[in-house]
Amino acid sequence: MVNYDEIGPEKILQVYDVRSGMKGILVIDNTKRGPGKGGIRMTPGVSVDEVARLARAMTLKCALADLPFGGAKSGIIADSSKLDKKKKKEIVEEFARALRIVAPEMYIAAPDMNMAESEMEWFAHANGSLKSCTGKPAKLGGLPHELGSTGFGVYHACLLALKHKKMDIKNVKVAIEGFGNVGEFAARFLSEKGARLVAVSDRSGMVYNEKGLDFKELALVKKEKGEIINYKGGKKMPNKDLIYVDCDLLVTAAIPDLVKKEDVGRIKAKIIVEGSNIPMTHEIEEMLVKKGVLIIPDFVANAGGVISSYVEHIGGDEKKMFKMVEEKIVKNTQMALDNKDKFKGCVRCSAMNIALERVRKGGNN
């Protein structure tokens, strides 16, 4: 097995612009397989440590997906909810200009938290290259992440996990943390397949109903009122409590470091599929695995977004994107599951071994 600490990071950049107040971070973790690929998140608390962990996850994700990309990630330190469109555009543009020294040759950006296709359009124009990012609007040749590529991949990872546990999806209770671009699509696909959606959360709180929530009504409430807490058909609870509900399948799809050590004993889910990046540490995952929980890690389950980015990068269309997402997620999730017993049931360890071997070899294997 390759030494995990030897693959990076290669570069850590911190950039500032006094006039706009832009403060940004870029970590290029590894470029042995190609330019570092990874999204830009905009949150007030994003840190070098968080970005570095996310960049490492991208190195593993791109290698496991067998894409000609390395791993990277970036962050803009700002509270998006307190910025008007003009100010946000100014900050994003200054960040894009500051990264001209590495993008697109060493870094290719993408959407992440509080960054979507319009922000990618600003980034590309300010950077001076349409190749500097993916997730752009369709008018610029983009495949926006709003098409649901990541949630679609998470859905397929869930199906394989359920099959591995010999569980019938029509008898499965599902809880989904986060009802944004990843969680909403995962909820939709799982509901359409027959799963019972019992709990969903967003930043406004959680709604819970053990008899099931109506996905279409939830989506309508989110669209019209902006927060799922306005949904009438369930009990309103704090969003943190979602990870404790009685469910078979828990899908994380929002914040990092969601699960803490003290939460382990209260989690009832038999399967956790990590639609979000770094929802818990490896140490906490191992504690849950010892409890008998099957965990499909982030860089395996949520690779749909970066696979979509690759299809956009080579000029492919939406049909090609969904086909490739399904094929690669199914293949790599199954490969990791097949080898997990060599690593005491740790799917992350199994998948990491595959990914790190590919990084060590370099190139697109």
- State the DSSP code for 75: E
Integer Cα distance of 321 and 4 in angstroms: 30
In 3D, which of 35, 164, 53 has the Cα closest to residue 99?
35
- Chain-centre distance of CA 148, in angstroms? 11
| pLDDT at residue 146 in the model | 72
Question: Where is 198: in which H helix or E strand?
Answer: strand 196-202
At residue 2, the pLDDT reads 43
Over residues 67-93, the pLDDT tens digits come to 999 999 999 999 999 999 999 999 999
Domains 4-142 and 149-304+332-357 are alike in CATH topology:
yes
Task: Using DSSP bridges, classify how beta strands 173-177 and 205-208 pair: parallel, antiparallel or unpaired.
Answer: unpaired
Of the candidates 11, 13, 12, 24, the one whose C-alpha atom is nearest the C-alpha of residue 94 is 24
The chain-wide mean pLDDT, for the chain, equals 94
C-alpha to C-alpha distance for 230 and 68, rounded to whole angstroms: 43
The pLDDT assigned to 351 comes to: 94
Residue 155's pLDDT is: 98
CA distances from 279 to 243, 325, 343 (A): 11, 22, 21
Q: Which two tokens stand for residue 20?
A: 């706009």
Nearest to 343, CA basis, from 299, 282, 301: 282
Structure tokens belonging to residue 90: 């100014």
pTM: 0.85
CB 241 within 8 A of CB 198: no
Query: Which token pair is 286?
Result: 């191992």
Rounded Cα gap, residues 231 and 213, in angstroms: 9
Pairing of strands 249-252, 173-177: parallel
CB 319 within 8 A of CB 311: no
Amino acid 340: pLDDT: 94
Fold exhibited by the domain 4-142: Rossmann fold (3.40.50)
Question: Residues 311, 313, 314, 320: what is their CA dihedral angle, to the nearest 10 degrees?
Answer: 20
> 85 with 92: CB under 8 angstroms?
no
Residues annotated as catalytic (active site), given as ranges = 73
Separation CA 166–CA 281 (nearest Å):
27
Domain residue extents for the chain = 4-142, 149-304+332-357
Q: What is the pLDDT of residue 3?
A: 52
Q: Which CATH superfamily does the domain covering 149-304+332-357 fall into?
A: NAD(P)-binding Rossmann-like Domain (3.40.50.720)
Question: Averaged in consecutive runs of 10 residues, what is the pLDDT profile of the chain (365 residues)?
Answer: 68 97 98 96 96 92 94 97 96 98 97 92 97 93 84 97 97 96 95 97 94 96 92 93 97 94 97 94 94 95 92 92 96 95 92 91 68
Residue 259 is given by DSSP the state -
